[in-house]
Structure 1
Amino acid sequence: MAITITQSAADHIRRHLDKRGHGLGLRLGVKPSGCSGMSYQIEFVDDPAPEDQRFEAFGVAVFVAPDSLPYLQGTQLDYAREGLNEGFRFRNPNEKAACGCGESFTV
């Protein structure tokens, strides 16, 4: 399974990379955190690690370290605006539950 990126997420990533002036894409990861156990991490990638898995769509790349990949397999990265709220949305088929505030999840 792969990580997929929607057109909306790709456009948002591209705008921020252009504004930043450099970078190859985003790194997605997970870390122990929050009341449900895990939280998503997002950071710009200037130099990918040799072991990173690369996923590409709509001209942008997303990198995932091998230790995060089992938690993210099959995830779709989207970007949405709803009223005054906007941000990345993770549609993760591995997610079993999420905390009420949406900051963490359980697999």
Structure 2
Amino acid sequence: MPAVADVLLTPAALKRLTELAEAGTRVRLSIEAGGCAGFQRKFFPSTPAPDDVVAGHAPSALLLDPLSADLIKGATVDYKNDLSGAEFVLTIPQASSGCGCGASFNLPE
């Protein structure tokens, strides 16, 4: 059984993850060095890995690698679908700064 991430999924995010899982697609959230603020978040289709940490319950759980899960403890994942487009949105309370696009953030040292 995979470890559980300290990440909250909103009802909208859970609904979208469930829709994707029912269509055969699992979603991974990865935090990588880069972007204009230090770290960048990426949501993409993926398959489960043995060391995954999950947010939510299978089969609609969000997949994360252990390092990404540790970097965003206490974060919230939402799903927005409006005139500007449809996307998963990550809110990280401990982020010390971010960028205008919302894809990049920095953490306090």
Establish whether TM, by shorter chain, passes 0.5: yes
Residues paired across the two proteins, number: 103
Q: Which residue of 2 aligns with 1:45?
A: 46
Taking the TM superposition and a 5 Å limit, the aligned residue runs for 1:1-107 are: 2-18=6-22, 21-23=23-25, 25-46=26-47, 48-57=48-57, 60-107=60-107
Aligned-pair CA distance for 1:45 = 3.1
Deviating more after overlay: 57-66 vs 5-14 = 57-66
- Matches of 2:84 and 2:102 in 1, distance apart? 16
Structure 2 portions without partners, runs of 5+: none
Aligned-pair CA distance for 1:38 = 0.8
Q: Compute the TM-score of the two structures, normalised by the length of structure 1.
A: 0.79
- Matches of 2:27 and 2:84 in 1, distance apart? 24
The superposition leaves residues 10-31 of structure 1 with CA deviations (integer Å, 9 ceiling, x where unpaired) of 112222333xx424x3221101
Q: Compute the TM-score of the two structures, normalised by the length of structure 2.
A: 0.78
Letter in 2 for 1:33: G
Q: CA RMSD in A?
A: 2.2
The verdict on how the C-alpha distance between 1:101 and 1:84 changes in structure 2, with shifts beyond 3 A counting, is closer
CA contact (8 A) 2:14 2:56 kept: no
